[in-house]
Amino acid sequence: MIIDLDTATKNVKTADYDVCICGAGAAGITLAVYLARAGKKVALLEAGGFEYSDQSYDCYKGKNTGMEYWGLDTCRLRYLGGTTNHWSGRCKPLDEVDFMERDFFELPGWPIQKSDLANYEAEAKSVVDISGDFTAADISNWTSGKFIPDRYAISAPTRFGDKYRAEIEVSGNISLFINANLIDVRLNKELSSVTELVVMDYGKKRFTFTGKNIVIALGAIENARMLLNCDTQLKGGIGNQSDFVGRCFMEHYNINYGFFSGNPKYWKNMKKGLSLYTDSQFSLEHKIGNGNVSMSISPDPPTGGGRSKELRKYIRNNVCKWDEITELSRKFVDFQCPGDGILGTLMEQSPNKNSRVSLDKETDSFGLRRVNLSWQMNELDKRTIRTIGIELAKEFARQDYGRVQLASYILDENAKIPVGYHCHSIGTTRMSKSPEYGVVDKDCKVFGIDNLYIGGSSVFSTGGGTNPTFTIVELALRLAKHLS
């Protein structure tokens, strides 16, 4: 059943659900569907509608006061399906090393192991419509022990809103409320349990929802923003007794390492490119995070559209003819010549308390303070980026797969590393053994609150060098089982 709060009367059923889930993205929809299939009565609250709207996106506006980052109202999608409406579809579970305690990280790691999620891997594959094993490029002659062919699968990608809308519509156990903005989370007198959720439509009608259990799954930035905004009963916000809500915001660094020249012996028939991942022994030995480096050969003629297409075409037709001019020109303009080996990266960011989401003074139309994102890189992350780049270049030469030309900021430790990003916001309500180092316990329950859970990538204790959606789904399936 789907109810639009903008047009609903006050008489809609808002009470006595088994579970109220705030946010209908990858985590929220997976949870709702699997809880409903298990016979639970679910209220699924989605702040947007079925597509983009200005009034919904206005709530996402905020400030970036740290490293350069996506516009906060462009990287996230605020309607049914959430950010799965523009995800790439790359799927891979986290590795065992990601769950290991790494004492060179600033903070403790996950309180669970890879085996705790392994039981949900097959079901998660079905949720995102992938079948078979996670596979790597077949490069049997690659013998490096430092970098191994990365195993992954590609989802269509599944748009969760499109895929599950029909099931939600006919389900007798799910009530999906659209245009339902969570405004406040009210606690009992003892401040130990959620009593009700305050929700408003865009006409500012006020509704109160109640359920035995509550899950907040609004996305990593918004989960923290909501908990911090709920500070009328608990100073500093809900779950924030150790000042961890909003802290340890992590992304995956997208670093431009430079170029490579591929040995035609290996690259002539390598149509899909090569995706390598750090071997766990290598990253542990160097005391660095993990990362993926994807290599491919730039095609000829140029692909893709966009405003820079004509400029790129001109450069390829002219500048690319002379090696020396190309080298010099690349100092000013980043461009690729046909046949260039392109290096794409997805590097792990370590948990860092100074990289954080906090609240701005300015408020949105519901009176909630807007987000202030201060994304920060620490020294360990710089070492991760540089070590992987340099060691990969050496292995590439050693294996005679080609030669890598590294950007100067990889070789110069005093240079500033230009940072790109992947729209993977994670880690703001991190999972921990105790409230001393996090916000939720191993079951995703907020420390100190009996019936409040968090869904999505905000609970990640560490982020690995892997796209997060598959792990988000595994965690949602695990939470669904816990709440069933």
Residues near other proteins (CB under 8 A)? 258, 261-264, 327-328, 331, 390, 393-394, 396-398, 402-408, 411-412
Name the minimum Å distance from CB 399 to other proteins. Answer: 11
Name the minimum Å distance from CB 350 to other proteins. Answer: 25
Name the minimum Å distance from CB 259 to other proteins. Answer: 9
Name the minimum Å distance from CB 349 to other proteins. Answer: 25
Strands laid side by side in the 206-209 sheet: 181-187, 194-200, 206-209
Residue number, 262 or 465, with CB nearest to other proteins:
262
Residue number, 221 or 276, with CB nearest to other proteins:
276
Instruction: With CA atoms as reference, report the closest residue to 150 among 285, 297, 341, 292.
Output: 292
Residue number, 145 or 172, with CB nearest to other proteins:
145
Residue appearing with tokens 């035609």: 264
Name the minimum Å distance from CB 289 to other proteins. Answer: 21
39: left (phi over 0), alpha (psi -120 to 50) or beta: left
**What distance in Å separates the CA atoms of residue 154 and residue 278, rounded to the nearest whole number?**
20
Residue appearing with tokens 């075409």: 313
Name the minimum Å distance from CB 407 to other proteins. Answer: 7
Name the minimum Å distance from CB 452 to other proteins. Answer: 51
Instruction: With CA atoms as reference, report the closest residue to 23 among 45, 54, 1.
Output: 45
Residue number, 71 or 264, with CB nearest to other proteins:
264
Residue number, 38 or 397, with CB nearest to other proteins:
397
Residue number, 140 or 408, with CB nearest to other proteins:
408
Residue number, 394 or 482, with CB nearest to other proteins:
394
